[in-house]
Structure 1
Amino acid sequence: MKKPSNTLPQAPVDDRPPEVLADLEFGKLTSKEYLYVAKHPENEPYIKSIEDEPPLFIYISTYLSYLILIIIGHIRDFFGKIFKPQEYSHLVEQNGYAPWYDGFESFYERRMKNRIDDCFARPIYGAPGRFIHCFDRKKVGKSEYEYPGTTSECLNLSSYNYLGFGQSKGVCTTHALKSIDDYGTSGCSPRAGAGTTDLHLDCEALIADFVGQEDAILISQGYGTNGFVFPSIADPKTLVISDELNHASIRFGIRVSGAQVKVCKHNDMKDLEKVIRNAIAQGQPKTHRPWNKIIIAVEGLYSMEGNLCDLREVVRLKEKYKCYLFLDEAHSIGAIGPNGRGVCDYFGIDPKKIDILMGTLTKSFGATGGYISGSKEIMKRIRLSYATNSYGESVPPAVLAQIISSMKVIKGDINPGEGLERLQRIAFNSRYLRLGLKRLGFIVYGADDSPVIPLLLFLPAKMPAVSRMLYDMGIAIVITAYPATPIVSGRVRLCVSSALTKEDLDDTLRKFNEIGDLVFLKFSSGRAGGSKVKGKPPRWSIEDVLAHNVEDCKKPNLGEMP
């Protein structure tokens, strides 16, 4: 018998026929019935999705679970420093040197995350398509893993490959490989030096046209796109009003810029208007002089909550109070709207009403990096002051070719009809899986058309249980918890892709239904998609869900459906 190794094994060679491998990366559409066009109805207000609440005893159990873990962890730390000083050398003073970490600041990682660390960062190989290939591993000791040399093929509900463009073969891969022959593997220079090629200029022009702006600038890293744009547009006399659930990259960028920041409640337009009015009335701290400018920063699609911003109201407030609007479309561009052009496309809003549109290319387009787009005047200024434009590497040619080809497929310039099918498949898949989970009794957050589906678990012990059980069943999912979410709302974050088939989603619903009964996850009260028909229980059977979901998921407002 082969002895398990603590080093990652070599990825096995897959000698299955090419058509089988292609189907594993992007499943074939089995019926035109499984398509849907996602667009918000014109002249209708945006209705927030209902966030269901579990019974009170679930909250109490969750707090008690964390309390017990914290108490036990502190007891072990106290005695460990006395009886096992070598293991705690990084937390105590050694030979006059200060400790590397404070015991409290590393407590969560050591005593809580470390217990379920095998559920995070599972190593994979191959393309992150319809199925994903994972190396099997077994935890030994506190932080080491043994790899027996086997792998598992899992249905992929964990990647941001929303439109399925992250393929190892296909029109985009062909373009990427050709760019390597023509341009090499790297620009080997910042954009402001010798790193700007004709591919960069063509790509920026294509992005600007795609998002409906005058100009765009490419950035080689998604996180850094937000992290360094705010120093180019804000200063200490600028006020940034930020949604409380904005991504960490936005908060980091605001801090680096030195701008003042006020936080408004998530997607609460009344609170946003109140914050704007108070800021205008009070002015800058101490001097009370007017702000040089006020920037409203929101996201199109919030990746942890799965909901959309109320863009129509945000634009109305922005115009009413003469503010600037910064819109982060990292998760919405390509994945939302009838033409895949983000939340402006979804709500039918002119993109030029948004002063700065930001997006990443790592998700729907199967590439890396991000972009900033806006008027030519703003982009001209940002090109001079943007740090990564002068000090960071330019986007490699193969990535540029991937961006250009995938965007042209969506537009219909390459393989007409393919991009439209991908957009309509992800819209159907998102609604189908969301409504099915709600009707089975799970608490699910997010907008109807969002490809991000958070399924609430609450209790910490259920996070590793669900992750490990689904992995054994052949489904790869991501669990997220504190600090990415509030400590009492740990969740599974399902990322839907157009590469998935309706049959894949049926299999997913069956397995979630089985686990939900076994682990007691069906907390829903029926307010958000369960039945409200008198005499009928709020939770549907899996047979009823599969029988009615195709037709019902195409109806408006899934949260209010019987």
Structure 2
Amino acid sequence: MMASSPQPVHVTNVHRHLTSEFHPNEKMGDTVLPPIDENLKQYRFKTETEHNSDDGGLQDEEFEETPLYAAILTYLSYAILCLFGWLRDFLRQSNIEKKRGAVDPNAALGFVPLYQSYESFYTRNMYTRVRDIFNRPIASVPGAQVEVVERVSDDYNWTHRFTGKTINAINLGSYNYLGFAEKSGPCATDAINSIKKFGISNCNTRTEIGTQRYHVELEQLLADFLHVESSIAFGMGFATNSLNLPVLASKGDLILSDEMNHASLILGIRLSGASYRTFAHNDMKNLEEKLREAIVHGQPRTNRPWKKIILVIEGIYRHDEVFDYKVWNDNIHKCFTSNFRSNHIYQYNIEYGS
């Protein structure tokens, strides 16, 4: 979901909001918004170094170094698996051993192969040996506990058959982090009632079913909650990033992207047709250098100013460092970000979340 409107100044430290009201008709100055360095230094997140220096703070992760003999045995075992894999592939090609894997029927027709050669080799000869511990089907909702369907293999994991039993297990790897996938409770009850009232096609695109009353109500509720003029709801988070960034950026624009951004943001940047550069993850000095360079030198070859410069980051890590910019040029018109602002620009605040 994405909300957009001219926004009052918000300097955010996770759930605590420090607000200094700003209105377009007022003069921007120290009386309205204190210097950003002084404001953020008082309320910013501590850096990792500061955390590590505090007693009881976040400590560096420690990993036991792999012993030399363990590393040698691992590489030796891997090499032996490869040798036997090549031998068995030769036997399969010679029809001495039965081919149990899937065969691409279009391979002989000149189509591009579905798998790379080594990927297919690895799947046949290495992954198949341990495939029984992956992709385990369940017979329950992915809650704190799950019922794992028991299965066995009679041909070394090429195929599996179900025994009809289930194994009760603690779920440590669910994607159900919001608790929506439950068979009882308010989420399940409201979902059932919504299906009875609106049907099952209300998650379709608006180009198919149009804008419905509940879409308008949801967007107004989101706008009220976020204290913005309006909002727009999308049915898929990946598509929100990948298909809306091209609306904001085009040829002649520059996008500065954190090197750790999600694949959906990267896809949206590439689809936009804009030029893009990456900066070191959470490195504000590196970002400032890239900004200064972009503003001073402009576009390659022509040195014309960029139409606009857009900063693309992810909110999940936006408070790891201080945004200690000294001066931002007015040519920076928009930021694709959440609760981010400089005292030298006025932009549209765009928030995206699930």
Partner residue in 1 for 2:328: 320
Amino acid at match of 2:92: K
Question: For 1:96 and 1:182, how far apart are their aligned partners in 2?
Answer: 50
Partner residue in 2 for 1:129: 143
Q: Does the CA-based 8 Å contact 1:92-1:99 persist in structure 2?
A: no
Question: For 1:92 and 1:176, how far apart are their aligned partners in 2?
Answer: 43
- Which among 358, 361, 365 is matched to residue 352 of structure 2? 358
Question: For 1:50 and 1:354, how far apart are their aligned partners in 2?
Answer: 38
- Which among 187, 202, 205 is matched to residue 220 of structure 2? 205
- Which among 110, 122, 125 is matched to residue 97 of structure 1? 110
Deviation at 1:103, TM superposition (A): 1.0
SS of 2:353 mapped into structure 1: strand
SS of 1:236 mapped into structure 2: coil
Deviation at 1:243, TM superposition (A): 1.8
Partner residue in 2 for 1:82: 90
Alignment coverage as a number of residue pairs: 294
Deviation at 1:298, TM superposition (A): 1.6
Partner residue in 1 for 2:182: 167
Q: Does the CA-based 8 Å contact 1:188-1:195 persist in structure 2?
A: no
Go from structure 1 to structure 2 and tell me whether the alpha carbon gap of 1:296 and 1:105 turns closer, same or farther (over 3 Å shift): farther
Partner residue in 2 for 1:19: none
- Which among 46, 53, 66 is matched to residue 57 of structure 1? 66
Partner residue in 2 for 1:494: none
SS of 1:288 mapped into structure 2: coil
Runs (4+) of structure 1 exceeding 6 A deviation are 60-63
Q: Does the CA-based 8 Å contact 2:311-2:335 persist in structure 1?
A: yes
Q: Which has the higher Rg, Structure 1 or Structure 2?
A: 2
Question: For 1:108 and 1:259, how far apart are their aligned partners in 2?
Answer: 38
Question: For 2:175 and 2:169, how far apart are their aligned partners in 1?
Answer: 15
Q: Deviations over 1:61-99 (max 9, x none)?
A: 897677557645654554445332274896999646356
Question: For 2:348 and 2:63, how far apart are their aligned partners in 1?
Answer: 38
Go from structure 1 to structure 2 and tell me whether the alpha carbon gap of 1:356 and 1:39 turns closer, same or farther (over 3 Å shift): closer
Deviation at 1:181, TM superposition (A): 2.4
Please give the TM-score of this superposition, normalised by the length of structure 1. 0.45
Deviation at 1:43, TM superposition (A): 1.8
Go from structure 1 to structure 2 and tell me whether the alpha carbon gap of 1:82 and 1:166 turns closer, same or farther (over 3 Å shift): closer
Aligned ranges 1:68-467 → 2 under 5 Å: 68=76, 71-72=79-80, 74-76=82-84, 78-85=86-93, 87=99, 95=108, 97=110, 100=113, 101-104=115-118, 106=120, 109-110=123-124, 113-139=127-153, 140-187=155-202, 190-301=205-316, 308-310=317-319, 313-314=322-323, 317=325, 320-321=328-329, 322=332, 324-327=334-337, 355-360=349-354
Amino acid at match of 1:325: C
Gaps of 5+ in 1: 1-37, 302-307, 329-343, 346-351, 361-562
Question: For 1:254 and 1:62, how far apart are their aligned partners in 2?
Answer: 43
Question: For 1:215 and 1:236, how far apart are their aligned partners in 2?
Answer: 28
Amino acid at match of 2:328: K
- Aligned-residue CA RMSD (Å): 3.8
Question: For 2:284 and 2:146, how far apart are their aligned partners in 1?
Answer: 40
Q: Deviations over 1:405-434 (max 9, x none)?
A: xxxxxxxxxxxxxxxxxxxxxxxxxxxxxx
Query: Could you tell which deviates more after superposition, 209-218 or 316-325?
Result: 316-325
Identity of aligned residues (%): 32
Go from structure 1 to structure 2 and tell me whether the alpha carbon gap of 1:170 and 1:299 turns closer, same or farther (over 3 Å shift): same
Question: For 1:212 and 1:120, how far apart are their aligned partners in 2?
Answer: 45
Question: For 1:161 and 1:89, how far apart are their aligned partners in 2?
Answer: 32
Question: For 1:233 and 1:65, how far apart are their aligned partners in 2?
Answer: 53
Question: For 2:88 and 2:268, how far apart are their aligned partners in 1?
Answer: 39
Question: For 1:274 and 1:112, how far apart are their aligned partners in 2?
Answer: 46
